Chains A and B, each alone.
Chain A
Amino acid sequence: MIELIRISLAPIVGETMAASSPVALARKLGFEGPHLTPSQASTLIERVCLGLVVFVGRQRATFAQREIEEALAKGRPQP
């Protein structure tokens, strides 16, 4: 899940931020453990992409969110 977010966001925010921000945000939201429930995953994706809005606008952030959700729905490898 975190890996999907990293892959999608890295071209915009760089590898470091793309890898660290979802982890930090998950901790902030109180999502513990290696695996997230579907509802937690959805909240995390939404919050990360919401954070992206001020940098790249809603359209681009929504596109990134959809990209992550689609990849997640396709059952790509999860950490």
Chain B
Amino acid sequence: MTESTTYAFMAFANGTQVVLAALAAWSTALVHRRLDPDNAARTPWLLISAGFAAFAAGESGDAYYELVGRNRPFPSALDAVFLGAYVLIGLAFVSFVRTYLRSELAGDAGRHRSPTLAFGTALALAGAVIVTLLLADDAPLAARVVGAAYPVLDLVALVPAFLLMRITLEFRGGALWRVWASILAGFGLILAADFVFAYFTVRGTDGQDALMEALYLLAYAAFWRGSRIQAGLISS
């Protein structure tokens, strides 16, 4: 890609990311608002909406640095916003799991225990390796810690995401499956982008910005699609 093509793509990707993340935040806020005050799913929808809003805010800041052609300082306040988004989305996933497993439709929750424990253990081992690699880098300590926080938070949130996937797999073919397949695919894409970033950071190479931006773009599009279907499901 030439420099001007790269700039045009980055401008398009960053702008679209902000819009898509904001739309996902709006749609999930609508879901929260449309549910009755006593509905247990209101809290997780609010949490995930706040997470998407934090992504939109973080991407706005990112877009600014990208468009003015300046390197974003790392770590910076923007990282706090992004990391906050991961925490909110992780908490939302935990809250969704608790709410959905209490539903009469979910059946016996015990059948999810062993696979989730095995998956969590595997992720903990993977996390230990990743953190060791990232912290061994010769960058300043703050940069290493914040750089490692992204994949660590990804892995932590991946455990309830795995459980949510198991619960919602049973909805295959229904509208609820389309909601969760989209939202969880979006989360998977965010994860992929973070790991691309971590991998190239460890290798000490860059130039993968276009790939990462494309992955984030697809992730926010998937978040919006799932949120939109869910909002429509409640209003119809």
Q: Give A contacts to B, CB under 8 Å.
A: 9-18, 20-21, 24-25, 47-48, 50-60
Question: Is the pair A25, B104 in contact by a Cβ cutoff of 8 Å?
Answer: yes
In this complex, which of A47, A48, A59 has the most chain B Cβ atoms within 10 angstroms of its Cβ?
A59
Q: Give B contacts to A, CB under 8 Å.
A: 34-36, 39-41, 99-100, 102-107, 170-177, 233-234, 236
In the assembled complex, the Cα of A16 lies from the Cα of B175 at a distance in Å of 13
Question: 9 A-B contacts, Cβ less than 8 Å apart?
Answer: A10-B173, A11-B174, A14-B176, A21-B105, A48-B104, A53-B39, A57-B35, A58-B35, A60-B234
Q: How far is the CB of B89 from chain A (nearest CB, A)?
A: 19
In the assembled complex, the Cα of A6 lies from the Cα of B141 at a distance in Å of 57
In this complex, which of A21, A47, A52, A55 has the most chain B Cβ atoms within 10 angstroms of its Cβ?
A55
Question: Is the pair A54, B103 in contact by a Cβ cutoff of 8 Å?
Answer: yes
**CB-based A-B contact count at 8 angstroms:** 79
With A54-B99, A56-B234, A57-B34 known as contacts, the answer to whether A16 contacts B173 (CB < 8 A) is yes
- Taking a contact as CB atoms closer than 8 A, the residue among A9, A18, A21 that contacts B107 in the complex is A21
Question: Is the pair B170, A59 in contact by a Cβ cutoff of 8 Å?
Answer: no
In the assembled complex, the Cα of A56 lies from the Cα of B24 at a distance in Å of 18
In the assembled complex, the Cα of A58 lies from the Cα of B36 at a distance in Å of 7
Q: Which residues of A contact B40 (CB under 8 A)?
A: 54
Q: Which residues of A contact B105 (CB under 8 A)?
A: 13, 17, 21, 48, 51-52, 55
Query: Closest A-chain residue to B172, C-beta based?
Result: A14
Q: How far is the CB of A2 from chain B (nearest CB, A)?
A: 14
